[in-house]
Amino acid sequence: LPAAQLPEDARDAARAPAGDGVSGTVWLDFKPGGGGEPGVVDPGEKGLPGMKVEAVSGGKVVAEATTAADGTFSFPAGSTPRDAVLRLPASNFTEQYAGVDWLGPTLVTPSIIGSYVWMWAGFAMVLIAAGLAGVPRELLEAARVDGANEWQVFRRVTVPLLAPVLVVVFVTLMINVLKIFDLIYIIAPGPTQADANVLALQLYLSSFGGGNDQGVGSAIGTLLLLLVLPVMFFNVRRIRREGRR
Mean pLDDT value across the chain: 84
Residues 140, 21 share a domain:
no
Residue 210, sorted as left (phi over 0), alpha (psi -120 to 50) or beta, turns out to be left
What CATH number does residue 211 fall under? 1.10.3720.10
Q: Average pLDDT of 43-65?
A: 88
Q: What is the pLDDT of residues 209-229, one digit of tens each?
A: 766 788 888 998 899 889 888
* Any domain includes 99: no
Residues 114, 7 share a domain:
no
Query: Of the candidates 63, 94, 125, which is a domain's last residue?
Result: 94
Q: What is the pLDDT of residues 154-180, one digit of tens each?
A: 999 999 999 889 988 988 888 888 888
Domain residue limits at 186: 108-243
Query: Of the candidates 94, 127, 156, which is a domain's last residue?
Result: 94
Residues 120, 50 share a domain:
no
Q: Average pLDDT of 19-27?
A: 85
* Any domain includes 101: no
pLDDT band per the 50, 70, 90 thresholds, residue 3? low
Residues 81, 24 share a domain:
yes
Structural domain tally of the chain? 2
Q: Which residues contact 206 (CB under 8 A, 6 or more apart)?
A: 213, 214, 216, 217, 220
- Which is more confidently placed, 232 or 60? 60
Kindly report the pTM of this predicted structure: 0.51
Q: What is the pLDDT of residues 78-125, one digit of tens each?
A: 888 888 889 888 888 777 665 556 677 778 888 888 999 999 999 999
